[in-house]
Amino acid sequence: MLHPSAPNSLSIAPLSAEFTDRSTETAYHAYHRERTRVQLASTLLFCSLYFLGFFATDLAALGMVADAALLLGARLLVAVTAGSCAWLAWRSPLSTGAAWRAATVAEAVALACFMFIAFHRPGEFHWHAMSLGVMLLVIYLYIPNRFAHALGIAAAATAGFLALTLAHADMGFADLLTMGMLLALVNTFGALAARRYHIVAREEYRAQRVLQHAAERDYLSGCYNRRYLHERLMGAGSHQAGPVAVILCDIDNFKQVNDTHGHAAGDAVLLQLSKLLQAVAREGHDSVVRYGGEEFLLVLPATGLDAAVHLAEWLRARFGATPIDTGAEGTSVFATASFGVASGADASLAILIDAADKLMYAAKRNGRDRVEALALHAHGMAAAA
């Protein structure tokens, strides 16, 4: 989950048109994997059929000769290669790298065969230039690939075609110059359009992530909120296999902190505890939730009671021993918290949280700054204290 307080993870490099943070770029491609799969399969299939269909122009230009059979073979090679890549993309959700490789292989084979066809039809290089322009736009805008890959493939194809034209086309200097300028124009505007497309798609993804963050996170602490808890962790299809532990903690005498030192100091205390909880949470595994005003919930999948109690004791000791800067001319305060820990392999998350809530209040009654724990069977029956 992206955090707006980490702007570098959401920034987009202007040249590569990708997120500067590789994990964010990876998450972006994972989010669009299905769309990429469909677009790659449909575009490659469409291109292979058209490339094969243009054999009619070979027959019209050359007639039924041996060269026409060679060109048919080249076109069949393109159709088989692109069609196979399209089939792979359609049949299975390719990884991002595999999709790029499929796109690059199909493009490279198509362009190589296109050069082969142009070599065998040397009197029509002006038409070949037009065809290449269309192919370049397809590479830039329609076949999913990295912007850098598309740019490199298009530039290499353009340079190769111009070299082939100089070597084999019977064209005057004016025609050659015009062809070169037109292909440069196609590449320039194709690259600009592709770069803009990549950036806009990532800007849309970034906006969605920021909005999702705002909907699921507490503004002050950055922890998940109760909406996330109920919709994601406790919603339909969210059952956790194996043991689950929850730690519910509440800052002791928090109203006194606010009354004595001010609400800014209270916010600093909240932030200190939330940062401590988020520091021990396993990325992509555990969840830290701001459960109430000064209450925080730590959900620990695949964690037994002993490990959860050990972690709660460490959190309790570390939080109580850490001076908290209030921001008021170097003034610092100390605070403590009470912890309730519940664990069970069969009990629902709602039952575990309810048990941890009762245990936390028991810790308050028993003197505060302590940990109370309990393991549960199914249906919330106590197993061991």
**pLDDT given for residue 151 in this prediction:** 97
Q: What is the C-alpha to C-alpha distance for residues 118 and 116, in angstroms, rounded to an integer?
A: 5
Q: Which amino acid is at 272?
A: Q
Residues found in the chain = 385
Measured CA angle at 379 (ends 376, 385), to 5 deg: 20
H-run or E-run covering 249: strand 244-251
- Please, which residues bridge with residue 332 across strands? 325
**pLDDT given for residue 177 in this prediction:** 95
Residue 124 annotated in active site: no
For residue 7, pLDDT over 70 is answered with no
Taken in order 299, 305, 311, 315, the sign of the CA dihedral is positive
**pLDDT given for residue 1 in this prediction:** 40
Q: What is the C-alpha to C-alpha distance for residues 349 and 98, in angstroms, rounded to an integer?
A: 39
For residue 287, pLDDT over 60 is answered with yes
For residue 343, pLDDT over 90 is answered with yes
- Tens digits of per-residue pLDDT, 63-83? 888 889 999 999 999 999 999
**pLDDT given for residue 237 in this prediction:** 57
For residue 204, pLDDT over 90 is answered with yes
**pLDDT given for residue 4 in this prediction:** 42
Please count the other Cβ atoms lying within 10 Å of the Cβ belonging to residue 17.
20
Q: Which amino acid is at 3?
A: H
The single residue of 18, 107, 216, 294 carrying the catalytic annotation is 294
H-run or E-run covering 204: helix 173-216
In percent, the amount of the chain with pLDDT more than 90 equals 81
**pLDDT given for residue 22 in this prediction:** 93
**How do strand 337-344 and strand 287-290 relate by DSSP bridges?**
unpaired
For residue 260, pLDDT over 80 is answered with yes
For residue 2, pLDDT over 50 is answered with no
Q: What is the C-alpha to C-alpha distance for residues 19 and 342, in angstroms, rounded to an integer?
A: 41
Low-confidence winner among 90-104, 170-184, 305-319 (lowest mean pLDDT): 90-104
Mean pLDDT of the chain: 91
Q: Answer whether 311's CB lies under 8 Å from 282's CB.
A: no
H-run or E-run covering 288: strand 287-290
Residue 149 — φ and ψ, nearest 5°?
A: -65, -45
For residue 6, pLDDT over 50 is answered with no
E runs forming strands in 321-361 = 324-325, 332-333, 337-344
Q: Answer whether 161's CB lies under 8 Å from 136's CB.
A: no
For residue 377, pLDDT over 80 is answered with no
pLDDT-derived band at 312, boundaries 50, 70, 90: very high
For residue 241, pLDDT over 80 is answered with no
**pLDDT given for residue 41 in this prediction:** 95
Q: Which amino acid is at 300?
A: L
> Can you read off the two tokens belonging to residue 63?
């007639």
**How do strand 324-325 and strand 295-301 relate by DSSP bridges?**
unpaired
Choose among 30, 35, 37, 32: nearest CA to 92: 37
Inter-CA distances, 107 with 71, 73, 90, 96, Å = 17, 17, 18, 17
Sequence-ordered list of residues with C-beta below 8 angstroms from that of 346, at least 6 positions apart, any chain: 376, 377, 378, 379
Sequence-ordered list of residues with C-beta below 8 angstroms from that of 66, at least 6 positions apart, any chain: none
**pLDDT given for residue 239 in this prediction:** 66
**pLDDT given for residue 8 in this prediction:** 57
Q: What's the whole-number mean pLDDT along residues 290-314?
A: 96
pLDDT-derived band at 213, boundaries 50, 70, 90: confident
Q: What is the C-alpha to C-alpha distance for residues 376 and 378, in angstroms, rounded to an integer?
A: 7
Q: What is the C-alpha to C-alpha distance for residues 355 and 9, in angstroms, rounded to an integer?
A: 38
pLDDT-derived band at 382, boundaries 50, 70, 90: low
**pLDDT given for residue 131 in this prediction:** 95
For residue 331, pLDDT over 60 is answered with yes
290: left (phi over 0), alpha (psi -120 to 50) or beta: beta
- 136 CB-contact burial (10 Å; exposed 0-12 / middle 13-18 / buried 19+): buried
**Residue listed under structure tokens 């039924």:** 64
What single DSSP character describes residue 54?
T
**pLDDT given for residue 238 in this prediction:** 62
Q: What is the C-alpha to C-alpha distance for residues 244 and 226, in angstroms, rounded to an integer?
A: 19
Q: Which amino acid is at 175?
A: D
What single DSSP character describes residue 73?
H
Q: What is the C-alpha to C-alpha distance for residues 77 and 66, in angstroms, rounded to an integer?
A: 17
